[in-house]
Amino acid sequence: MPPPLTRTLPDDSARKPRLLWANTYCLLDSTSGASISVRQILLQLQQRGFDVKVIGATNFDHPRGATGMGANWSQMQKRGGAFVNAVDGPLEHELFVTKSTERGNMTCAEESAWYNRYLQLLHQFQPDMVFTYGGRPLDLLLASEAKYHGISVAFYLVNGNYKSNRFSRDVDVLLTDTHATAGLYKKRIGRDVGVIGRFIDPATVVAQQHERKHVLFINPAVEKGAAIVAYLAILLEKKRPDILFEVVEARAKWDGLLQKVSAALGHPRESLGNVLVTPNTRDMRPVYGRARTLIAPSLWWESGARVLAEAMLNAIPVIITSSGGNEESVEAGGFVLKLPSEYHEPPYAHVPTAKMLQPVIDHIEKLYDHQTYYESWCSNAREYSSQLSLEYSTDRLVSVLKPYLPD
């Protein structure tokens, strides 16, 4: 084993703190809320005087996530097995072009090439901190390598998937967005987790004009409560054909889900007349501009779905389940559907009965039929949005990171 890195830290108070984001996923993935959030975190740290470098790869949560790469994606695909630079405003992403866009298909040779470049950057860039997430063997190895060289490691933790403490063994500081997730891991692994809040640039998500006409649902995956939304749409199709649902596809597709759910309910359908399907899009502002309410009935642990904060910034009231940090993420701006615990257990096969969903239906109808009622919910959402300041979140982030950076 080579000796630990001898880092050259000049006696210069003007030296910027150096941070290396290292992970084999792509931060330009338009289907990954975590990637979108980390990208904004890095932009904020750059603005606060950090020298930030990014090493990633062309792995996405879903192949549609490559739309975030823009027009350069087709050219990048021709550079398989090589590193390319993707300029992203003030950020530059050094990306290894993998044969597949699915992380599970990354070959040993590709992982080796990526890891060797990571080792080079530890020596060339000499970061003060490595920032990452993930629990695969390579993720654990890069944290271990950073620690071997005396470099601090920060870990972004915004899901409930880690069951043991192995992922955090070589991590100095854990960061999350909600107190609910911090509490979950304090109980599960005995570690304190820094709560840094949301990182959303309002300019990228707030619509200039609002029609307020659709019930919006984003990412129709089973764990996101897609079966609940499908059943709601079925129940409302004949009763209230004027109430239209807009489903935005991300990692999951709507049609197949609807077919399975409707067949299981004994009313097989290929499509619904009150549902509009929108492909995955990089710019959500027009979508939010059409939304009257957003429904996010997640069944898995939701640290605090990013779409909830985006809705709050648009003063759009939401409908949620009491999953993870959802209630904390919307406070009085959200109508809560309480479900028995078995509905929140994999494989999320239970679909609530029509009777259980009736309070949600009543609420949706009142949002459309009673303007005063609707405006009160919008006001609650607008009031909560004042807590989503980028500057405030960045202050908290810098404060949490400061003890792990050179003086």
Q: What is the pLDDT at residue 11?
A: 52
Q: How many Cα neighbours within 13 Å face the side chain of 211?
A: 12
Q: Please tell me whether residue 122 adopts helix, strand or coil conformation.
A: helix
Domains 18-200+390-404 and 203-385 are alike in CATH topology: yes
Looking at residue 362, its pLDDT comes to 98
Strands 83-88 and 91-96: antiparallel
Task: Please name the CATH architecture into which domain 18-200+390-404 falls.
Answer: 3-Layer(aba) Sandwich (3.40)
Cα separation, 403 vs 397, whole angstroms: 11
- pTM to 2 decimal places: 0.92
- Domain ranges for the chain, please list them: 18-200+390-404, 203-385
Distances (CA, A) of 30 to 57, 60, 297: 14, 8, 21
Structure confidence at residue 4 (pLDDT): 77
Q: Which CATH superfamily is domain 203-385 in?
A: Glycogen Phosphorylase B; (3.40.50.2000)
- Residue closest to 57 by CA, chosen among 89, 93, 88: 93
Residue closest to 184 by CA, chosen among 316, 34, 379, 324: 324
Separation between Cα atoms, residue 4 and residue 279, nearest integer Å = 48
Cα 151 from chain centroid? Answer: 27
Place of tokens 């790869």: 57
Average pLDDT per consecutive 10 residues, the chain (407 residues; last block may be shorter): 63 80 96 94 97 97 86 88 94 96 96 98 97 96 97 97 95 97 97 96 96 97 95 96 95 89 90 94 94 97 93 97 93 94 93 96 98 97 93 97 94
Query: Of the candidates 285, 287, 208, which has an alpha carbon nearest to the alpha carbon of residue 248?
Result: 287
For the purposes of burial, counting CB atoms within 10 Å of the CB of 14, is it exposed (0-12), middle (13-18) or buried (19 or more)? exposed
**CA angle in degrees (0–180, nearest 5) for 124-120-28:** 95
Q: What is the DSSP string of 6-65?
A: -----S-TTPPPEEEEE-SS-TT-TT-HHHHHHHHHHHHHHHTT-EEEEEEES--SSGGG
According to the model, what pLDDT value does residue 198 have?
A: 94
| Helix, coil or strand: residue 295 | strand
